[in-house]
Amino acid sequence: MLNGVDIRKLNLTWLRQQMGLVNKEPTLCNDTIRANIAYGKEGNATGAEIIAAAKTANAHSFISGLQNGYKVMVGERGVQLSGEQNQRVMITRVVIKAPVLLLLDEATSVLDEESEHVVQDALDRVMDTRTTIVVANQLSSIKGADMIAVVKNGVIVEKGRHETLINIKDGFYASLALNSSAASS
């Protein structure tokens, strides 16, 4: 269901236009940062729109700090930028698109802990105003979700908020959380 409508009844092209995707391997084009961000919006994105989106995505300060700023060429698949910078450019592209539905597929999984916090903060601001589906192995990415569906062997085995799932005795989510906190200690 999307806004109370069965998605099977929606036009597939229209539905895809309503979605924004950030995955663990950003897909940047061999072009400037500005062009990669503008790609998210149909028609032309203004400089002011690009800067506003970059500020929302925690990207403006790092972009402005680069020698050529928004004119920096990112290289094929973003090789000229760090993983964190690539993710923030991708998030900025999603912000400028302003999708109704946001899909995050392991969006912070390849980042170190410090970079994850910066990117997660940007994602939290973007997720605040739209329906978001998060696929994650890192519990830090989903703790604040309204609904968590725990999948084991392709089947949903538990559903609920973090606070509920963490307290299920012998629950799969609780065991994942326990193992996750033990691994980070």
Judged by average pLDDT, the poorest of 9-23, 115-129, 135-149 is 115-129
With a CB cutoff of 8 Å and minimum separation 6, the contacts of 58 are 88, 91, 118, 119, 121, 122
Radius of gyration, CA atoms only, the chain:
18
Q: What pLDDT band is residue 185 in, cutting at 50, 70 and 90? A: very low
Q: Which residue ranges form the domains of the chain, and what is each CATH number?
A: 7-142 (3.40.50.300)
pLDDT category of residue 136 using cuts at 50, 70 and 90: confident
Tokens (6 digits) for 184: 């980070």
